[in-house]
Amino acid sequence: MKVNKYSKRLTQDETQPASQAMLYGVGFSDEDMQKAQVGIVSTGYEGNPCNMHLNQIASSIKNEIKSYNDMLGLIFNTIGVSDGISMGTSGMHYSLPSRDIIADSIETVVQAQSYDAVLTVVGCDKNMPGAVMAMLRLNRPAIMVYGGTIASGSHKEKKLNIVSAFEALGEKVAGVIDNDEYKQIIKKAIPGAGACGGMYTANTMASAIEALGLALPYNASIPAENEQKQSESSQTAEAIHNLLVNDIKPLDIVCKKSLENAITVVNALGGSTNAVLHFLAIAHAADIDFGLEDIQRISDRTPLLADLKPSGQFLMEDVHGIGGTPAVLKYLLEIGLLHGDCLTVTGKTMAKNLANVQALTFEQEVIFPKEKALKSSGNIQILFGNLANEGAVAKISGKEGLIFEGPAKVFDSESEANKGIQAGQVIAGDVVIIRYVGPKGGPGMPEMLKPTSMIMGAGLGKSVALITDGRFSGGTHGFVVGHITPEAQTGGLIALVENGDVIEINAETNTIELKVSETEINNRRSAWKAPAQKHSKGILRKYASSVASASEGCVTDKY
């Protein structure tokens, strides 16, 4: 079949002389006018380790595409937000909105330029779901290319990563370390290019999207600065050519079973709660009925097998060392937890991709067999109750316990919470509430990594719970519940909690309850008024006006 299905309307139509003149102007030859145009979109920029090397990867892929006589690569760029840099500042309000800006911008360029296929070269947390959402909306041959994980830092023979820097602040405040050691940890935590090293959001999404079928085998687990990363460019060029020739598109690959594969991997690896938001949004982009109940169903049947940070010991580089993502997927397939018949961007099924992969051995300590699982079900748990009657998301590794009950310590913003924790206002037994930080109230649903890291650093990780209508970083661990819906800004019950109210979080019954009488709740509700929106113009105003709830994936094209 003709591989220039879309671009030919510009290059072959005699009534489009201006289009053709513009393409000759950028250097096209007559032969190029017959070729498929592959948009190569990079989220590369210099200011973030996750993204600093992505433009080089995009250029390498373009060079490999040149060896094919029926397609050519055209690079364009879109934005990124560094969560690690913006965390704990007002910049974090722009993090989740960046996902939808990325999706919108990729859709816009590919549609407007009539590209026949798209390769998305991505690094940081929101890059990946944004890219996949665009790929599904466009439904043209497409592959996601992850830039890879960072190498670990080191201090006093202890491995470091981005969360080490956050937790060092809590240790400094608690007097565990002095200022000189604090500075040393900061300087050594990030040694070069690549996304945050644990099973945080970037590595969670990369692993899950490989399981979804939209990334090539091993793409998620090969580290950014590993020499094997270079060989991926030729493999990517070959794969996108195969997809073009055979007209295999994202909606041929993504289905309910492949979404189940992705969420299975999230739970088996102890992945980030952000995966819930992102896969709800991905399902929405694909028009697949897939909700919180599906995520809980998959978590119930998926054991936690990986001892990975933040709650465990190891990093993504260690997964690479034991055989990479395909070795993990092969084991999950062998024990009946993956659908092997799902199509992938190789043009083959998941089972065929894995057929010749070397099986995991269990002489290592990174991934455990199901008989020795760290937890019999997944770490992602969906909670309901009067405090979250539309749902909430907990990340329970089992190390924190399964039930927590205590008095509320209420903060109406992250900055208030950070100051309160630093001032010693939070004590053992408290349930910290951080509210008005949801998708509309934040706006932008910022991540609460700084307060959770300070709690951990202060030695309160096992004796304090934290709940919020905001999000948690993939680096967060402890007894935490986020994505409370309805959020405070829209009048959810979390807005009515007062200091000292008793709250119970129960991961055995998957409930979260405010133990206050209905009469008192009704009295408080009658006195409550929604606060004014924090922004009167700009992207955050638009986002707050259009964003759906966390239980609907925070999509911005629902209404």
pLDDT at res. 477: 65
Alpha helix ranges (H) inside 338-408: 350-354
Average pLDDT, the chain: 95
pLDDT score of 87: 85
Tens of pLDDT, residue by residue over 328-356, are 999 999 999 999 999 999 999 999 999 99
- DSSP string covering 463-529, please? T-EEEESSB--TT--SEEEEEEES-GGGT-GGGG--TT-EEEEETTTTEEEE---HHHHHHHHHH--
- Over range 161-177, report the average pLDDT: 84
CA nearest to 198, candidates 185, 187, 189, 186: 189
Query: How would residue 476 be classed by pLDDT, with cut points 50, 70 and 90?
Result: low
State pTM to two decimals: 0.95
Domain boundaries, given as residue ranges, for the chain: 35-151+192-354, 154-191, 380-552
Report how far residue 102's alpha carbon sits from residue 267's, in angstroms, rounded to the nearest whole number.
Answer: 26
| pLDDT beyond 90 at 398 | no
- pLDDT interval class at 159 (50, 70, 90): confident
Known binding-site residue numbers for [2Fe-2S] cluster: 50
Q: Which amino acids are annotated as binding site for Mg(2+), given as ranges?
A: 83, 125-126, 447
Question: Given pLDDT bands bounded at 50, 70 and 90, which one contains residue 54?
Answer: very high
Phi, psi of 215 (to 5 degrees): -130, 155
Q: DSSP secondary structure string, 141-156? A: SEEEEE--BPPPEEET
Return the pLDDT at 2: 87
pLDDT for residue 558: 87
473 is catalytic: yes
Residue list, annotated binding site: 50, 83, 125-126, 447
Residues contacting residue 173 through CB under 8 Å, at least 6 positions apart? 422, 454, 457, 458
pLDDT of residue 555: 98
Place of tokens 């993956």: 338
Q: Which of 248, 329, 260 is nearest to 288 (CA)?
A: 260
pLDDT for 458 beyond 90? no
CATH code that applies to domain 380-552: 3.50.30.80
Give me the residues paired with residue 76 across strands.
41
- The amino acid sitting at 202 is A
The CATH code of the domain at 35-151+192-354 is: 3.40.50.2300
Between CA 47 and CA 80 the distance in angstroms is 10
Q: Which pLDDT does position 431 carry in this prediction?
A: 96
Catalytic residue among 233, 299, 473, 551: 473
- Residue 462 in this model has a pLDDT that exceeds 90: no
- For residue 504, name the pLDDT band (cuts at 50, 70, 90): very high
Segment 292-314, tens digit of pLDDT: 999 999 999 999 999 999 889 99
pLDDT by residue (tens digit) across 431-444? 999 999 999 999 99
Residue 36 pLDDT > 70, yes or no?
yes
Structure tokens at 399: 């190390």
Residue 135 clears pLDDT 80, i.e. is over it: yes
Predicted pLDDT of residue 164: 86
Please name the helix (run of DSSP H) or strand (run of DSSP E) that holds residue 403, with its range, or none: strand 403-411
515-540 tens-digit pLDDT: 999 999 999 999 999 999 999 999 99
Q: Enter the tokens of residue 150.
A: 């960072």
pLDDT of 128 strictly over 90? yes
Distance CA 485, CA 532 (A): 19
